[in-house]
């Protein structure tokens, strides 16, 4: 199935979603990976006992697609944004999927499934970061040729690791206008996955997002990539700081629980993460 066919199918079938109460709403976990999932044991424990409350979709890097049949929506090369939209479209085909969270193979859950489910299902908005970055890595990537569809004042940057409600996911999958503008004019030093969705949501549906991500990442070190945490880095102190070391607003209330997931963790961090998970359950 081509991207266009999948996106059209998701757009056309999305209106068939059952009314609230007819089906148990599910969280859709969308894994965008470069290869195997090194934290599978961690996720298996996380999902255990929650059958019927979640769906899992995996989009591997093209170099790891040997096991996927050509009829699969996950077969074929793509840009990051194409892969994100394909994941969203595939998940939208299930009318019981109500919330959609994008994760990578280096992401880990911070709380148990029940806590995560209540947090996301109880939110009145989506969780998507979108901000004005005055630096060359932000505004410097804007291409004036995007006018008049997208002006410089509209331009935003944000984490690609979003969490969306069904309505916003459908709007993103249904978009053709802004996708074409980005596809044509966001090239070379412009990274579409960091700008396309944050810019479009800021322009059209800013009130539908809490303007923050629920996936924690450490950008305290300079460079193009966030800090990666290995076995020796995983301590109770680190995990507690990630889980409760921030303050944010959720549905009008200030809370210390701002993040439900964290990245980037190296595969060798699995053992201490499993120990921490077992001790907290």
In tens, the pLDDT along 45-64 reads 999 999 999 999 999 865 55
Q: Tell me the per-residue pLDDT of 12-32, one tens digit each, with 9 for 90 and over.
A: 876 555 555 578 999 999 999
Expressed in angstroms, the distance from the first to the final Cα of the chain is 42
| pLDDT band per the 50, 70, 90 thresholds, residue 258 | very high
Predicted confidence band at 136 (pLDDT cuts at 50, 70, 90)?
very high
Cβ-count burial 132-166 (b if 16+ within 10 Å, e if not): ebeeeebeebbbeebeeebeeebbbbbbbbbbbbb
What residue has token string 């280096």?
Answer: 106
The residue ranking higher by pLDDT, 62 or 196, is 196
Confidence of residue 138 (pLDDT cuts 50, 70, 90): very high
pLDDT for residue 19: 55
**What pLDDT is recorded for position 12?**
85
Res 74: pLDDT: 42
> Cis peptide before 148, with omega less than 30 degrees from 0?
yes
* Residues near 109 by beta carbon (within 8 Å), at least 6 away in sequence: 42, 43, 46, 116, 260, 261
Cα-Cα-Cα-Cα dihedral sign, residues 129, 131, 136, 141: positive
pLDDT at position 16: 57
For residue 66, pLDDT beyond 90: no
At 18, give phi and psi (nearest 5°). Answer: -70, 145
Q: Are the CB atoms for 267 and 274 separated by under 8 Å?
A: no
Domains present along the chain, CATH in parentheses: 3-280 (3.90.550)
pLDDT at 4: 83
Which of 49-63, 173-187, 188-202, 231-245 shows the lowest mean pLDDT across its residues? 49-63
The pTM score is 0.90
Q: What is the DSSP letter of 265?
A: B
Mean pLDDT (the chain, rounded): 90
């Amino acid at each position: 199935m081509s991207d266009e066919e999948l996106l059209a199918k998701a757009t056309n079938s999305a209106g068939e979603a059952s009314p609230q109460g007819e089906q148990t709403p599910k969280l859709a976990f969308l894994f965008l990976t470069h290869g195997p999932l090194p934290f599978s044991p961690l996720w298996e424990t996380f999902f255990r006992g929650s059958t019927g409350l979640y769906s899992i979709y995996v989009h591997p890097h093209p170099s790891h697609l040997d096991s996927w049949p050509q009829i699969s929506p996950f077969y074929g090369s793509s840009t990051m944004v194409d892969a994100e939209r394909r994941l969203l479209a595939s998940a939208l085909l299930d009318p019981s999927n109500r919330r959609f969270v994008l994760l990578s193979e280096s992401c880990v859950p911070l709380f148990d499934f029940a806590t995560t489910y209540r947090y996301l299902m109880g939110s009145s908005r989506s969780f998507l970061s979108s901000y004005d970055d005055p630096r060359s890595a932000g505004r410097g990537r804007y291409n004036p040729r995007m006018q008049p569809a997208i002006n410089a004042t509209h331009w935003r940057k944000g984490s690609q690791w979003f969490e969306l409600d069904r309505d916003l996911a459908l709007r993103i999958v249904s978009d053709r206008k802004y996708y074409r503008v980005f596809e044509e004019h966001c090239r070379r030093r412009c990274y579409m996955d960091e700008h396309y969705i944050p810019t479009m949501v800021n322009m059209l549906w800013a009130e539908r997002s809490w303007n923050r991500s629920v996936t924690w990442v450490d950008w305290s070190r300079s460079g193009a990539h966030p800090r990666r945490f290995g076995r020796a880095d995983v301590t109770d102190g680190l995990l507690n700081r990630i889980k409760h070391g921030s303050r944010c607003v959720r549905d009008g209330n200030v809370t210390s629980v701002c993040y439900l997931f964290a990245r980037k963790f190296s595969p060798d961090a699995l053992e201490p993460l499993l120990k921490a998970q077992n001790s907290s359950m």
